[in-house]
Amino acid sequence: MMDVGSILGTRGQWWRLLTSGLVHADYPHLIVNMLSLFFFGAWFEHIVSSWRFGMIYGLGILIGSFASLVVHRRDPNYLAVGASGGVCAVVGAATIVYPQLPMMIFPVPIPIPAWIIGSLFIAYSVMGSRWGGDNIGHEAHLGGTFAGIGMVVAFFPLLALENWLYVLVMILAAAGSIAISRSGLFARLK
Protein backbone atom coordinates (compact mmCIF):
# COMPACT_ATOMS: atom_id res chain seq x y z
CA MET A 1 0.00 0.00 0.00
CA MET A 2 1.00 3.61 -0.38
CA ASP A 3 2.45 4.36 3.05
CA VAL A 4 3.92 7.86 3.40
CA GLY A 5 6.08 6.86 6.37
CA SER A 6 7.60 3.89 4.50
CA ILE A 7 8.19 5.92 1.34
CA LEU A 8 9.65 9.10 2.81
CA GLY A 9 11.07 7.56 5.99
CA THR A 10 14.27 5.64 6.44
CA ARG A 11 12.94 2.68 4.45
CA GLY A 12 12.70 4.62 1.17
CA GLN A 13 10.20 2.17 -0.34
CA TRP A 14 9.41 4.19 -3.45
CA TRP A 15 7.97 1.17 -5.30
CA ARG A 16 4.87 1.55 -3.12
CA LEU A 17 3.81 4.44 -5.37
CA LEU A 18 3.13 1.88 -8.12
CA THR A 19 2.31 -1.32 -6.22
CA SER A 20 -0.41 0.40 -4.22
CA GLY A 21 -2.49 0.16 -7.41
CA LEU A 22 -2.52 -3.63 -7.00
CA VAL A 23 -4.06 -3.51 -3.51
CA HIS A 24 -7.68 -2.61 -2.76
CA ALA A 25 -9.52 -2.01 0.51
CA ASP A 26 -12.23 -4.60 -0.20
CA TYR A 27 -14.07 -6.37 -3.01
CA PRO A 28 -16.51 -3.50 -3.75
CA HIS A 29 -13.52 -1.15 -4.13
CA LEU A 30 -11.84 -3.58 -6.54
CA ILE A 31 -15.06 -4.24 -8.47
CA VAL A 32 -15.87 -0.53 -8.98
CA ASN A 33 -12.33 0.20 -10.20
CA MET A 34 -12.20 -2.77 -12.54
CA LEU A 35 -15.70 -2.23 -13.94
CA SER A 36 -14.85 1.41 -14.64
CA LEU A 37 -11.62 0.33 -16.30
CA PHE A 38 -13.47 -2.27 -18.36
CA PHE A 39 -16.21 0.11 -19.55
CA PHE A 40 -13.71 2.74 -20.69
CA GLY A 41 -10.77 0.53 -21.51
CA ALA A 42 -12.59 -1.94 -23.76
CA TRP A 43 -13.01 0.64 -26.54
CA PHE A 44 -10.30 3.15 -25.59
CA GLU A 45 -7.42 0.68 -25.90
CA HIS A 46 -8.35 0.10 -29.54
CA ILE A 47 -8.17 3.83 -30.22
CA VAL A 48 -4.83 4.63 -28.56
CA SER A 49 -3.07 1.20 -28.91
CA SER A 50 -2.24 -1.29 -26.19
CA TRP A 51 1.14 0.16 -25.23
CA ARG A 52 -0.23 3.70 -24.90
CA PHE A 53 -3.19 2.40 -22.92
CA GLY A 54 -0.84 0.54 -20.56
CA MET A 55 1.33 3.62 -20.20
CA ILE A 56 -1.67 5.85 -19.46
CA TYR A 57 -2.94 3.40 -16.84
CA GLY A 58 0.43 2.73 -15.20
CA LEU A 59 1.57 6.34 -15.14
CA GLY A 60 -1.87 7.33 -13.86
CA ILE A 61 -1.36 5.10 -10.83
CA LEU A 62 2.18 6.40 -10.32
CA ILE A 63 1.33 10.09 -10.73
CA GLY A 64 -1.87 9.73 -8.69
CA SER A 65 0.10 8.14 -5.85
CA PHE A 66 2.76 10.84 -6.14
CA ALA A 67 0.08 13.55 -5.90
CA SER A 68 -1.20 11.90 -2.71
CA LEU A 69 2.35 11.68 -1.38
CA VAL A 70 2.98 15.38 -2.01
CA VAL A 71 -0.26 16.47 -0.34
CA HIS A 72 0.16 14.14 2.65
CA ARG A 73 3.96 14.34 2.96
CA ARG A 74 3.76 15.66 6.53
CA ASP A 75 1.51 12.80 7.69
CA PRO A 76 3.68 9.67 8.05
CA ASN A 77 0.59 7.66 8.98
CA TYR A 78 -1.26 8.35 5.72
CA LEU A 79 -2.09 5.13 3.85
CA ALA A 80 -3.79 4.63 0.48
CA VAL A 81 -4.67 1.72 -1.78
CA GLY A 82 -6.34 1.21 -5.13
CA ALA A 83 -6.01 1.68 -8.86
CA SER A 84 -8.19 4.79 -8.97
CA GLY A 85 -5.35 6.98 -10.26
CA GLY A 86 -4.92 4.67 -13.25
CA VAL A 87 -8.64 4.41 -13.88
CA CYS A 88 -9.00 8.20 -13.67
CA ALA A 89 -6.10 8.56 -16.12
CA VAL A 90 -7.91 6.35 -18.63
CA VAL A 91 -11.19 8.21 -18.14
CA GLY A 92 -9.47 11.62 -18.33
CA ALA A 93 -7.66 10.61 -21.51
CA ALA A 94 -10.85 9.20 -23.05
CA THR A 95 -12.63 12.45 -22.21
CA ILE A 96 -10.11 14.46 -24.23
CA VAL A 97 -10.15 11.99 -27.14
CA TYR A 98 -13.96 11.87 -27.23
CA PRO A 99 -15.30 14.88 -25.23
CA GLN A 100 -18.90 14.38 -26.39
CA LEU A 101 -18.97 10.77 -25.14
CA PRO A 102 -22.39 10.38 -23.48
CA MET A 103 -22.05 9.36 -19.83
CA MET A 104 -24.74 8.60 -17.30
CA ILE A 105 -24.22 9.16 -13.60
CA PHE A 106 -26.58 7.46 -11.18
CA PRO A 107 -29.32 8.61 -10.41
CA VAL A 108 -29.53 11.10 -13.33
CA PRO A 109 -31.25 9.16 -16.17
CA ILE A 110 -30.00 11.34 -19.04
CA PRO A 111 -26.66 11.15 -20.86
CA ILE A 112 -24.29 14.04 -20.19
CA PRO A 113 -21.18 14.79 -22.33
CA ALA A 114 -17.94 13.46 -20.84
CA TRP A 115 -16.29 16.89 -20.72
CA ILE A 116 -19.04 18.19 -18.40
CA ILE A 117 -18.82 15.11 -16.15
CA GLY A 118 -15.03 15.41 -16.19
CA SER A 119 -15.12 19.08 -15.19
CA LEU A 120 -17.58 18.39 -12.38
CA PHE A 121 -15.50 15.42 -11.21
CA ILE A 122 -12.38 17.59 -11.08
CA ALA A 123 -14.20 20.27 -9.09
CA TYR A 124 -15.59 17.61 -6.72
CA SER A 125 -12.12 16.09 -6.27
CA VAL A 126 -10.59 19.47 -5.43
CA MET A 127 -13.33 20.11 -2.87
CA GLY A 128 -13.00 16.59 -1.46
CA SER A 129 -9.26 17.02 -1.10
CA ARG A 130 -9.75 20.27 0.79
CA TRP A 131 -12.48 18.86 3.04
CA GLY A 132 -10.92 15.45 3.61
CA GLY A 133 -12.20 12.90 6.10
CA ASP A 134 -14.16 10.80 3.60
CA ASN A 135 -11.64 7.99 3.05
CA ILE A 136 -11.39 8.74 -0.69
CA GLY A 137 -8.08 9.43 -2.45
CA HIS A 138 -9.12 12.67 -4.13
CA GLU A 139 -5.49 13.65 -4.76
CA ALA A 140 -4.87 10.35 -6.57
CA HIS A 141 -7.99 10.94 -8.65
CA LEU A 142 -6.80 14.42 -9.63
CA GLY A 143 -3.25 13.30 -10.32
CA GLY A 144 -4.47 10.40 -12.44
CA THR A 145 -7.00 12.49 -14.36
CA PHE A 146 -4.44 15.14 -15.28
CA ALA A 147 -1.85 12.45 -16.10
CA GLY A 148 -4.31 11.00 -18.61
CA ILE A 149 -5.10 14.40 -20.08
CA GLY A 150 -1.40 15.20 -20.33
CA MET A 151 -0.58 11.93 -22.05
CA VAL A 152 -3.27 12.49 -24.68
CA VAL A 153 -1.77 15.92 -25.31
CA ALA A 154 1.69 14.31 -25.64
CA PHE A 155 0.60 11.33 -27.76
CA PHE A 156 -1.94 13.12 -29.97
CA PRO A 157 -1.10 16.85 -30.05
CA LEU A 158 -3.27 17.53 -33.11
CA LEU A 159 -6.28 15.89 -31.46
CA ALA A 160 -5.60 17.88 -28.29
CA LEU A 161 -5.47 21.07 -30.36
CA GLU A 162 -8.73 20.11 -32.00
CA ASN A 163 -10.29 19.63 -28.55
CA TRP A 164 -8.39 22.48 -26.87
CA LEU A 165 -11.55 24.05 -25.49
CA TYR A 166 -12.42 20.90 -23.51
CA VAL A 167 -8.87 20.66 -22.15
CA LEU A 168 -9.08 24.31 -21.13
CA VAL A 169 -12.47 23.89 -19.43
CA MET A 170 -11.18 20.96 -17.36
CA ILE A 171 -8.06 22.90 -16.35
CA LEU A 172 -10.21 25.91 -15.46
CA ALA A 173 -12.48 23.64 -13.38
CA ALA A 174 -9.43 22.71 -11.31
CA ALA A 175 -8.08 26.26 -11.11
CA GLY A 176 -11.47 27.74 -10.25
CA SER A 177 -12.13 25.12 -7.58
CA ILE A 178 -8.73 25.72 -6.02
CA ALA A 179 -9.28 29.50 -6.02
CA ILE A 180 -12.74 29.17 -4.49
CA SER A 181 -11.51 26.65 -1.90
CA ARG A 182 -8.72 29.00 -0.84
CA SER A 183 -11.20 31.85 -0.53
CA GLY A 184 -13.00 29.96 2.23
CA LEU A 185 -16.30 29.63 0.35
CA PHE A 186 -16.15 25.80 0.51
CA ALA A 187 -15.73 25.95 4.29
CA ARG A 188 -18.94 27.97 4.51
CA LEU A 189 -20.75 25.51 2.18
CA LYS A 190 -19.65 22.46 4.13
Provide the domain count of the chain.
1
Q: Which domain holds residue 17?
A: 2-189
CB atoms within 10 A of CB 38: 10
CATH number assigned to the domain comprising residue 132: 1.20.1540
What's this model's pTM, rounded to 2 decimal places? 0.90
Residue 178's pLDDT is 84
Full pLDDT tens readout for the chain, 190 residues:
899 999 998 888 999 999 999 999 999 999 999 999 998 888 999 999 999 999 999 999 999 999 999 999 999 999 999 999 999 999 999 999 999 999 988 788 899 999 999 999 999 999 888 877 788 889 999 999 999 999 999 999 999 899 999 999 999 998 988 888 777 665 555 5
Residue 3's DSSP bridge partners are 79
In angstroms, the CA 125 to CA 142 distance is 7
Cβ within 8 Å of residue 12, ≥6 positions away: none
